[in-house]
Structure 1
Amino acid sequence: MMNQLFGLHHVSLVTSNAKKNAQFYMNVLGMRMVKKTVNQDDVSVYHLFYADQKGSPGTDLTFFEFPGTMATVKGTNSISRVSLRVPSDQSLTYWINRFDTLNVPHKQVSKLFGHNVLEFEDFDGTPLRFVSDEKNKGVSGGIPWKNGPIPLEHAIYGLGPVSITVSRLALIRSFLIDVLTFREIAEEEDQILFEVGEGGHGAQVIVREDTTHSPERPGYGSVHHVAFRVADRDALNEWIKRMNQTGLPNSGFVDRFYFQSLYVREFNHILFEFATDGPGFATDENEDVLGERLSLPPFLEGQRAFIEQQLEPLN
């Protein structure tokens, strides 16, 4: 049996402004900044990581700062909404009140595959939703940030189902089931729910077909890619072999220092990543001070003075 995916690892998005991004995700949403580093492919800009108390895999939103980029032009062939898990239906009421106080745009609570959800946006127009874990079973969530501004009984503690919109449904269905070992478990109107591993909100993808709109033109407020958890380097090597057999374009092995990765684009051009659970964000700093200083992987440490000079301090 091939190494199975454990569920979601992280989701990476694009922001127009790192300082405003930190203010929103830490002060408004109450997520912990577990790593403040730079885009390894462009060290002039931040790469920020928000997660649970420990920076656990499956709880992590990451943002590339691309100042000067245009707003996203929404369309098909995109990761169209990202979910964040909260403990209960009552939590959604708490968040509505908080958003109304802080003028965060949101919709009303609705149902999605039997669970209560609340859709909202950040200052970049990033499409987000809270999903209530009240009736959820499957992959467990993380540990909410204990020093954050949100009461722990309502705090974010994991990633939920990622929504993907594609122009060719048959191709992504085959990729998810035949290549990634997902199971198709439900259909609701024009949306199909897939899950992998233990299942539940931390291991789900929702797919909708849209053949009428043009492909999304990504900018700030877009979702760059979704990453799934693999156990370790050996498991990742198995996935590299598997992807090479598909003929899909892929990155081969990439060392991100905090985890090791493989990137592949499926037939609708959605970017998928496979990322190891370790070594984790406490590799180069203690858990109690995660994200407080600029962290650089060893291969960039020699450029620290130059890199810090280019970055506007966030605090």
Structure 2
Amino acid sequence: MNLRGIHHVSAITANAKNNYRFYTEVLGLRLVKKTINQDDPSVYHLFYADEQGNPGTDFTFFEIPNAGHTYAGNSSISTTALRVPDDQSLEYWIDRLDSYNVDHDGITEQYGRKLISFRDPEDQRLALVSDEKNNGVAGGTPWDKSPVPNEKGIVGLGPVTLTVKDPEPTFNVLTDLLTFKQTGSYSSTEGNQEDVLVFETGEGGTGAEVHLKIQPDLPRERPGRGSVHHVAFRVDNEEELAVWRDRVKEARIPNSGLVDRFYFKSLYFREPNGILFELATDGPGFTTDEDPDHLGETLALPPFFENQRDEIEAKLKPLDTKGPHS
């Protein structure tokens, strides 16, 4: 029983309006769901993805208006990669990032792939990674109304980097519990010893990798705006998720039990270094309650929140997501 790859990554923003502008207008992603943080219905939860919000393409944000500055460090999800079709696409993205004054490091190479490391306006640590050599999990399909040409567009989530002080406990959870396999390693700085371990699951490739970066001298990260809350991995269905729940329980790792997020079912737990993992089912998906042509345009609430709609909407700051591309 293998996980199928990365399902989604959820991060923190202090400003939903600015976040929406950057991820749709600059990065060209589609807002496929404007909903609420189910654990705190007073704030937005925004989902950006490909044309339909396919699993493996979702980059989501909780709006926490009073979120402070992130102090980067250990026990963190320190980089989220976004896949683009090929090396040539990166040339397009250099020009695009420059035109929007986005802070980036140019085209470099990591683990045999070309990529661009960059930051969003809240210093979210990101990378655009080329899928030119990818032979693993297939990417999604960019939205045809995106401001970015389809042949250059982001097709999903790439490798997620975890930064830890001691790799052994996380290594054990990834391999012994979650059945990832270590497939390689590389150096995070030119000329230094290899300090990043690479793991993959399922079909492997850019959409199914976790990179474990070892930084023994860093303090623990203090999260805020621009930090990542959790990473989720793909599970086929609810029946399989129940088996995973039992595996986690047998490993004596505290967990949330099965949680109904309406668009998918979830299981949450923290690995020993304190990083929050989620296992999430591929379905039923984001078109279950909205017309595929009009995803994300209005506030979507799961049925178990619908009777609170008036109260919820009264607390949320209005956010126009019909935008120029819808």
Q: Same fold (TM over 0.5)?
A: yes
Distance 2:312 2:112 in 1: 47
Alignment of 1:132-147 (within 5 A): 132-147=130-145
Match of 2:302 in 1: 297
Cross-structure match for 1:258 = 263
Offset, 1:302: 0.7
Runs of 4+ in 1 over 6 A off after TM superposition: none
1:267 aligns with 2:272: yes
Q: Tell me the CA shift for residue 209 of structure 1.
A: 1.1
Q: Hey, what's the Cα distance between the residues in 1 that align with 2:285 and 2:240? A: 16
Query: In 2, distance between residues paired with 1:65 and 1:32?
Result: 17
Specify which of 279, 291, 310 is matched with residue 284 of structure 2.
279
> Corresponding residue for 1:220?
225
| TM-score normalized by the length of structure 1 | 0.98
TM-fit CA distance, 1:313: 1.8
Aligned residue among 176, 180, 183 for 1:182: 180
Aligned partners of 2:254, 2:218: CA distance in 1, in Å? Answer: 25
The question of 1:44 aligning with 2:49 is answered no
Task: Tell me the TM-score normalized by structure 2.
Answer: 0.95
- Separation in 1, partners of 2:74, 2:36: 29
Structure 2: unaligned runs, 5 residues or longer: 188-194, 321-326
Partner in structure 2 of residue 18 of structure 1: 16
Amino acid at match of 1:82: T
Equivalence for 1:102? 100
Match runs of 1:169-248 below 5 Å: 169-189=167-187, 190-248=195-253
Secondary structure at the residue paired with 1:30? Answer: coil
2:146 corresponds in structure 1 to: 148
Aligned residue identity for 1:281: F
* CA displacement at 1:49 relative to structure 2: 0.2
**Aligned residue-pair number:** 313
Work out the CA distance in 2 between the residues paired with 1:218 and 1:246: 28
Amino acid in the other structure paired with 1:62: T
Using the TM superposition, give the Cα deviation of residue 252 of structure 1 relative to its aligned residue in structure 2, in angstroms: 0.6
SS at match of 2:66: coil
Amino acid at match of 1:122: D
Distance 2:143 2:14 in 1: 25
- Cα distance between partner residues in 2 of 1:182 and 1:30: 31
Compare 163-172 and 255-264 and name the one that shifted more: 163-172
> What is the RMSD computed on CA atoms of the aligned residues?
0.7
Once residues 218 and 161 of structure 2 are traced to their aligned partners in structure 1, the CA distance between those partners, rounded to angstroms, is 16
